[in-house]
Amino acid sequence: MKKINLTISLLAVLALFMVSCNGGEKKPSATETETQTETAPAKQGQAAVVDTVSAANALQVAKSLDDFKTLVAAIEAAGIEDAVVNAGPLTVFAPVNGAFDKLPAGTLDDLLKPENKSKLAFILTNHVAPANYPEKQLKKEAEKGRKLYMASGKYLTVEVKEDGIYVGGTKILKSVKVSNGWIHVIDNVLVPAE
Amino acid sequence: MKTIFKSLLAITVLSMVLGSCGKGDSKKNGALASNAAEKVYVAPGEYDEFYAFLSGGFSGQLAVYGLPSGRLFKVIPVFSVDPEKAYGFSEETKPMLNTSHGFIPWDDSHHPDISQTAGELDGRWVFINGNNTPRIAKIDLTSFETTEIIEIPNSAGNHSSSFVTENTEYVVAGTRFSVPYPQKDMPIKEYKGNFKGALTFISVDPKNGAMNIKFQLMMPGFNYDLSHPGRGASHGWFFFTTYNTEEANSLLEVNASQNDKDFIAAINWKKIEEYVNNGGGKKAPTRYAHNVYNEETHTATSTIKEEVLIINPSDVPGAVYFMPTPKSPHGCDVDPSGEYIVGSGKLAAELTVHSFSKMLKAIEQKKFDGDAYGIPILQYEATLAGAVKQPGLGPLHTEFDGKGNAYTTFFISSEVVKWKLGTWEVLDRKPVFYSVGHLMIPGGNSRKPFGKYLVAMNKITKDRYLPTGPEVTQSAQLFDITGEKMEMLLDFPTIGEPHYAAGIPANLIVPKSKKIYKLEDNKHKSVVKTEAAAKVVRNGNEVHVYMTMIRSHFAPDNIEGIQVGDKVYFHVTNLEQDYDVPHGFAVIGAQTSELLIMPGQTKTNIWEPKQVGVWPFYCTDFCSALHQEMQGYIRVSPKGSKVPLTYTLDGDAVDAE
C-alpha cells in the first residue's frame, strides 16, 4: 500500500513539473505579434477557398445570380457545394427559381428537410454531367445520338430542335462558360426516373 | 531500509526533473523538458509563420520551406535544368541558361538574399549567386520563378555574392578565385601580382528589379569569400572578407594559411558610384550574357553584352581600405545597427569584431599599417571593437536577433554559439549534428531581424536519418531563440547542400502570390486563345502545332501528315483561368522534358519523330476527373508521303461549327 502511495505521489509531482515546464516556456515576445501571419481560412472544403483572381466557378456564378437562389439553397442543403467547385470538368444544367415552382406543391419544402438530404442530392446530381459540354459539343452529341451521362448515374437525351437545344426534354435558354466547365440555364427540374 | 531507498530514489528522480526543467534549458531532450513538437506543429490546413529560402547548393536550385514546420513547398529552378517544370527544356526557358560559354545546364547555387527597403525585408525578390559559371539570378516572389540571370565577367567562383544594399540599390558579386585580367594564356606560377579579383556592383531598378552591371572594382588577386553591406550609419559601404592574401596558386590549404591576418576589404561604394556617375571608370571589352524572362510573352531572351566599366582602387582615393582580420575569415556580417562588422576567421582562436565608427576615425587619423597594392591597411587595433574569446572552433557565419545578441556557427566544434554584442560574452552554446556551415534568422542580416527562430544548416549528417547508401542528405536544424537559451526543435533534410538561407514572415509574401496568368494578357508569339484558332502549319520540314488545352482535352487531338525527318514544334496554351489547374504535355520519344503549363501560359517543345507510326501524346499533370482521357494521336508517315496535313477534334476541324 505504501509503495503504491509513493508511486502515485511521485507521478503527481512529475505531472506538476511537466505542466509548469510547458507553461514556463510560453513567453510571449514582441516578434511573435509582429510576424503573425493571416491565418489560413477555417477550411471546410474546396468551396471555402478564397480566390478573387481566377475566373468564377460554377457555384460562384450561380451564387452571383438571383435566378439561381433556389438552386443554390438546394445545393447547400444537399451539402454538395464542394462537388460543384471541383476541378471537374462539369456541365451544369441549372434550373432557374421558377423551375422549382413547377414541381408539385410541397415537393421542394419536403426535399429541403434534413432527412431527405440524399434524395435531394440525387436529384441535383442529375443536373451535372462530369464532362465539358459547350453548346457546340451538345449539338454534336445530338447529331451522333450520344446520351449525356449524369453524375446521378442516369442518362439524359440531347435533341436539336428548330428553336434550340433540348436536354432531358427541356430547352436550354442560355449558356455560360465557368472556370470548371459550363452552365446551361433551363426552366424545368430534371427529376430522374426512380 | 527499503523505504529509505524508495525515498532516495524519489528524491533523485525529482532532482533530475528539476534540473532538466530549470530556466527552460532543455539539455535533456525528453518530452518532460520540452514541448518542441507542439512548437513546430502546423495543423493540416494551417500556414507556417515564415518562408525560408534555402540554397540548393550543388543542385543549382533554391528550395522554399515553411517555418517552423520544415515542410518543403517548392524547389525553384534557377541555375540547373529541371525536367519537372521544363525549365531549361522548353524553348521559352532555354535562354535563361545561356552564358558566354554557351548553354550551361547546371551550377552551384550559394547565397540567397531577399530584397530590402530602408534596411528591412520587402519581399519583392530573392537574389542568388551561381558559383561555378559566375552568375546572379533574381527570383520574383509573386510568381516564385527565376526571371533574370546576369553573368559576371572577369570573375570565377562567384562566392562573395549575392548580398543587397539597404534599398536594394545594388546586389554584389565578388570573385572567390582571382584570374588573369583580362583573361589570357599565361603560366600559372606568375599568379602573384598578375591575377585580379573583381568585385562587381549590379544596380537593381527599384521599379521592376532590372539588373545592370554598374561597375567592376579590380582588386588585388586575393580570394574574396563573403560580404555584407553596411546599414544605418555604415550604409554606403560594403565589406568583403578575403583569404589567400598570400596569393598562392597551389596547395592553398597550406599556402593560403601562412599569414597571421588576412583582410576585410571596406568599400565605399557610394563614393565609387559618384565617380562613375561623373563619367569615371574605363570601359573595357568583355563578353557576358544577360537573360531576362518576360512574364507577358512567357519567354526568356538572352543578350550577349560586350562591355563593362572597370574601376581600379587607385582611381578613387579614399574608397577602399583593408582591415586586418585573423586567419582566413569566411563570414563577414554586419549587425542590425551597422556599427559592428564580424569577421569569422576560419582558423582563428577568437571571433574578431570591427567597429565602423572606429574605422572612420582610423581613416581620418591615417592610422595605417602600410598598404597592399596601394590600398591602405588600417591598424588592427584601431578598428577593433572587441573579440569573442574562445567561442568555439572554426567560426563561419554570424546572424543577429535584433535584441543585442549574435549567433555564430562553428564548423569544427559543430555548434551554434550565442553571444552578446558589446560585451562579447558567450551566453549559450548548442551542439548541431554535424558540422554546421551557415545559419539563418529571418531578417537576421537586415536592420530588422525577426528573432524567433534560427535555422542551422549542416554539411554532414552521417547517422542522423535513415541511411540511403553512401550519399546521405544534408540537414537543417531549427532552434527556438526566444528564450535566454536556444532550444533545438526540429531537424529536417534539405536538397543539395544549403550554403546559406534567407527567411521572411509569410505575411509579406502571401497576399501577392500570383494565382494564374491572365489569358488576355498573354503576348506569346505562338499563343492561341481559343480552340477554334488552333492550327497546324507546315513550313518546309518544320511543322508548328498551335494547340490548346482545357479540361479535359487538347485541340486538336488528332494530327496527321507529319513525316519522319520533320521538326515539330508544339506551342501549347493552357486556356484555364482557374487557380491550381496546370496541364502537362508529353509526346513519346521527345528528347526533352515534359511541358508543365500554368493557366494562361504558353510553352513550346520540339519533337523530331524518327519512326513511322501513330504516336500518342498526353497530359502529365492530373488536372481533372477526366485527366486519363486527356490524350491525342499524331500520325507519322515516311518522308515524302502523300498523307495530307490534317488536324481535328472529335472527327471535325477544330473551328467546325
Is residue A79 in some structural domain?
yes
Give yes or no for a contact between B426 and B391, defined as CB atoms under 8 angstroms apart: yes
**Distance in Å from the first CA to the final CA of chain A:** 70
Size of interface A-B (CB pairs under 8 A): 123
Question: What mean pLDDT do residues B623-634 have?
Answer: 95
Is residue B450 in some structural domain?
no
Contact: B450, A55; criterion CB under 8 Å: no
Q: Which of A13, A54, A130 sits opposite B14 (nearest CB)?
A: A13
Question: What mean pLDDT do residues B166-179 have?
Answer: 98
How far apart (Å, rounded) are the C-alpha atoms in residues B404 and B421? 6
Is residue A48 in some structural domain?
no
Bridge-based pairing state of the strands B223-229 and B329-334: unpaired
Question: What mean pLDDT do residues B260-281 have?
Answer: 98
Q: Which residue has the cell 494547340?
A: B547
Residue B3 has pLDDT above 70, yes or no: no
Q: A135 to chain B, minimum CA–CA distance in Å?
A: 10
Q: How many CA atoms lie within 13 A of B103 on its CB side?
A: 10
For the stretch B187-244, pLDDT in tens is 999 999 999 999 999 999 999 999 999 999 999 999 999 999 999 999 999 999 999 9
Question: What mean pLDDT do residues B78-93 have?
Answer: 98
Residues 6+ apart with CB under 8 A from B104: B79, B97, B98, B133
Contact: A132, B553; criterion CB under 8 Å: yes
Q: Which of A22, A38, A87 sits opposite B510 (nearest CB)?
A: A38
Q: Which of residues 155-174 of A touch B (CB under 8 A)?
A: none
A56-65, B16-25, B585-594: which range is least confident on average? B16-25
Residue B656 has pLDDT above 90, yes or no: no
- As a whole number, the mean pLDDT across chain B is 94
Q: Would you say the C-alpha torsion B97, B500, B209, B224 has a positive or negative sign?
A: negative
Residues 6+ apart with CB under 8 A from A93: A127, A128, A129, A156, A167, A168, A170, A172, A184, A186, A190
User: Which of B48, B551, B628 to mutate to test binding with chain A, by most A CBs within 10 Å of its CB?
Assistant: B551
Q: B479 to chain A, minimum CA–CA distance in Å?
A: 14
Write the DSSP string, A121-163.
HHHHHTTEESS---HHHHHHHHHTTPPEEPTTS-EE-EEEETT
Q: Which three cell numbers stand for residue A12?
A: 503527481
Q: So what's the pLDDT on residue A43?
A: 56
Is residue A45 in some structural domain?
no
Neighboring chain B residues of A31 at a CB cutoff of 8 Å = 402, 450-452, 482
CATH number of the domain that B566 lies in? 2.60.40.420
CATH number of the domain that A88 lies in? 2.30.180.10
Report the residue of chain B nearest A20, measured CA to CA: B21
Q: A189 to chain B, minimum CA–CA distance in Å?
A: 25
- The boundaries of the domain holding residue B116 are 79-249+260-326+358-386
Question: What mean pLDDT do residues B144-148 have?
Answer: 98
Contact: A130, B45; criterion CB under 8 Å: no
Is residue B410 in some structural domain?
no
B11-25, B264-278, B335-349: which range is least confident on average? B11-25
Alpha helices in chain A (DSSP H): 2-25, 30-34, 58-64, 69-78, 81-85, 97-101, 107-111, 117-125, 135-143
Is residue A44 in some structural domain?
no
pLDDT band at B25 (very low <50, low <70, confident <90, very high): very low
Q: Would you say the C-alpha torsion B68, B74, B77, B83 has a positive or negative sign?
A: positive
CB of A16 less than 8 A from some CB of B: no
Q: So what's the pLDDT on residue B185?
A: 98
Q: B105 to chain A, minimum CA–CA distance in Å?
A: 34
pLDDT in tens, chain A (194 residues): 444 454 445 444 444 444 444 433 334 344 444 455 445 555 578 888 889 999 999 999 999 999 999 999 999 999 999 989 999 899 999 999 999 999 999 999 999 999 999 999 999 999 999 999 999 999 999 999 999 999 999 999 999 999 999 999 999 999 999 999 999 999 999 998 76
Q: Which of B38, B45, B624 sits opposite A40 (nearest CB)?
A: B45
Q: So what's the pLDDT on residue A17?
A: 44
pLDDT band at B655 (very low <50, low <70, confident <90, very high): confident
Residue B361 has pLDDT above 80, yes or no: yes
**Distance in Å from the first CA to the final CA of chain B:** 101
Percent above pLDDT 70 for chain B: 95
- Please state the domain count of chain A: 1
Q: So what's the pLDDT on residue B602?
A: 98
Q: Would you say the C-alpha torsion A183, B528, B296, B110 has a positive or negative sign?
A: positive
Question: What mean pLDDT do residues B356-377 have?
Answer: 98
How far apart (Å, rounded) are the C-alpha atoms in residues A18 and A10? 12
CATH number of the domain that B286 lies in? 2.130.10.10
Bridge-based pairing state of the strands A90-95 and A181-186: parallel
**B386, B402, B430 - which closes a domain:** B386
Is residue B478 in some structural domain?
no
How far apart (Å, rounded) are the C-alpha atoms in residues B509 and A118? 42
Q: What angle do CA A16, A17, A20 make, to 5 degrees?
A: 90
Question: Which residue, B378, B376, B386, is CA-closest to B362?
Answer: B378
Contact: A89, B625; criterion CB under 8 Å: yes
Can you say whether residue B122 is alpha, beta or left, with left for phi > 0 and alpha for psi between -120 and 50 degrees?
alpha
Between A21 and B427, residue with greater pLDDT: B427
Neighboring chain B residues of A150 at a CB cutoff of 8 Å = none
Is residue B548 in some structural domain?
yes
Report how far Cα A1 is from the mean position of its chain's Cα atoms: 61
Q: Would you say the C-alpha torsion B23, B28, B33, B38 has a positive or negative sign?
A: positive
Contact: A55, B35; criterion CB under 8 Å: no
Q: So what's the pLDDT on residue A40?
A: 59
Contact: A27, B482; criterion CB under 8 Å: yes
Is residue B51 in some structural domain?
no
Report the residue of chain A nearest B14, measured CA to CA: A14
Q: A102 to chain B, minimum CA–CA distance in Å?
A: 33
Q: What is the ipTM of this complex?
A: 0.79
Contact: A131, B451; criterion CB under 8 Å: no
How far apart (Å, rounded) are the C-alpha atoms in residues B358 and B275? 25
Q: What angle do CA B327, B252, B54 make, to 5 degrees?
A: 75
Contacts 24+ apart (CB under 8 A), A184-188: A184/A91, A184/A92, A184/A93, A184/A94, A184/A133, A184/A135, A184/A138, A185/A67, A185/A94, A185/A96, A186/A93, A186/A94, A186/A95, A186/A96, A186/A99, A187/A95, A187/A96, A187/A98, A187/A99, A187/A102, A188/A95, A188/A99, A188/A102
Is residue B230 in some structural domain?
yes
Neighboring chain A residues of B6 at a CB cutoff of 8 Å = 3, 6
Q: Which residue has the cell 486556356?
A: B575
Give yes or no for a contact between B379 and B368, defined as CB atoms under 8 angstroms apart: yes
Is residue B441 in some structural domain?
no
Give yes or no for a contact between A29 and B482, defined as CB atoms under 8 angstroms apart: yes
- The boundaries of the domain holding residue A118 are 55-186
- Please state the domain count of chain B: 2
Question: What mean pLDDT do residues B575-596 have?
Answer: 97
How far apart (Å, rounded) are the C-alpha atoms in residues B418 and B612? 68
Q: A111 to chain B, minimum CA–CA distance in Å?
A: 29
Question: What mean pLDDT do residues B428-455 have?
Answer: 97
Q: What angle do CA B207, B97, B71 make, to 5 degrees?
A: 75
Assign B545 to helix, strand or coil: strand
CB of A44 less than 8 A from some CB of B: no
Residues 6+ apart with CB under 8 A from A122: A152, A192
Give yes or no for a contact between A25 and B486, defined as CB atoms under 8 angstroms apart: no
Question: What mean pLDDT do residues B56-85 have?
Answer: 98
Q: Which of B483, B507, B578 sits opposite A38 (nearest CB)?
A: B507
User: Which of A25, A144, A165, A180 to mutate to test binding with chain B, by most B CBs within 10 Å of its CB?
Assistant: A25
For the stretch B321-331, pLDDT in tens is 999 999 999 99
Assign A83 to helix, strand or coil: helix
Report the residue of chain A nearest B15, measured CA to CA: A14
Q: Which residue has the cell 518522308?
A: B639
Can you say whether residue B168 is alpha, beta or left, with left for phi > 0 and alpha for psi between -120 and 50 degrees?
left
User: Which of B405, B624, B628, B654 to mutate to test binding with chain A, by most A CBs within 10 Å of its CB?
Assistant: B624
Residue B466 has pLDDT above 60, yes or no: yes
Side chain identity at residue B3, one-letter code: T
Residue B628 has pLDDT above 60, yes or no: yes
Between A13 and B272, residue with greater pLDDT: B272
